[in-house]
Amino acid sequence: MSKIYLSLALVFLSVLPQFAFAQKGEFTIMGIMQHTDLEGGCWFIESKHMKYELTGSPAVMQTCRVAGRSLTLRVRQAPMMASTCMLGHMVEVLEVLDTVFHAHNPPFEKVKIKGVVHMTKDSCWYVLTKAKKRYELQPPIPAKFMHRGAKYNRISTVLPNSESQCNNMDFVITISMLDPDMKQDEARERKSDPR
């Protein structure tokens, strides 16, 4: 019986390091500060699909504890600490590096695109080229391109697929509101009869 307990203990000790928190020393995390009412209220930051519970000096924690605040923090694994909420890894905040969300300006380029307009099952309009590249048409879309089989042949402003709102797209086409195709037919003015 003692051999079974001994073997179970050895298995447990060999598996334990795999579940231990892997970050050693100081590291940087970026994410959004969040609050939960679990266990009387806990603050945590979610960063790249990982959650971290924070500890640190009262002044640093006062800066951090704003729900929805974007934070960049220099942290280290909190030594010998356990969490009451058990939401994530315990880290000690050494320094608040940034509390501002910076605007994202994606790169774009002008490209000659020639293809046929299609629509996905999710109602996403896109242009399929002969090279089998899929260019999502970002709303607002000119009426002449909002039917299947329409020919698309023009120089377009193209964004990377990271800006896509549809699945399986290679690029995104954005059309300016100043584009001639975006202007609606102006109503004809009625001239008064001078008689």
pLDDT in tens, 128-179: 999 999 999 998 898 889 999 999 999 999 988 877 888 889 999 998 877 7
**Residue 104: what residue type?**
H
3-state percent helix, strand, coil for the chain, nearest multiple of 5: 20, 40, 45
- Residue 16 is assigned to a structural domain of this protein: no
> Contacts for 99-103 with beta carbons within 8 Å, 24 or more apart?
99/63, 99/69, 99/70, 99/71, 99/72, 100/70, 101/70
- Residue 73 is assigned to a structural domain of this protein: yes
Q: Are residues 79 and 32 in the same domain?
A: yes
The H or E element spanning position 71 is: strand 70-77
CA dihedral sign of residues 64, 68, 71, 76 = positive
Query: In the chain, how many domains are there?
Result: 2
| End-of-domain residue from the set 98, 126, 145 | 98
Q: Are 84 and 39 in contact (CB under 8 A)?
A: yes
Q: Give the model's pLDDT for residue 31.
A: 87
- Residue 63 is assigned to a structural domain of this protein: yes
Quote the domain boundaries for residue 118: 109-179
- Residue 138 is assigned to a structural domain of this protein: yes
- Residue 76 is assigned to a structural domain of this protein: yes
DSSP 170: S
- Residue 194 is assigned to a structural domain of this protein: no
Q: Give the model's pLDDT for residue 191.
A: 58
- Residue 57 is assigned to a structural domain of this protein: yes
Q: Are 54 and 43 in contact (CB under 8 A)?
A: yes
Instruction: Report residue 101's pLDDT band, with 50, 70 and 90 as the boundaries.
Output: low
| End-of-domain residue from the set 55, 78, 98 | 98
CATH number of the domain encompassing residue 82: 2.40.50.140
Q: Where are the alpha helices (DSSP H) in 84-173?
A: none
Q: What is the pLDDT of residues 53-99, one digit of tens each?
A: 988 899 888 888 888 888 899 999 887 777 778 888 889 999 998 87
- Residue 150 is assigned to a structural domain of this protein: yes
Cut 0.75: pTM above it: no
Q: Are residues 76 and 41 in the same domain?
A: yes
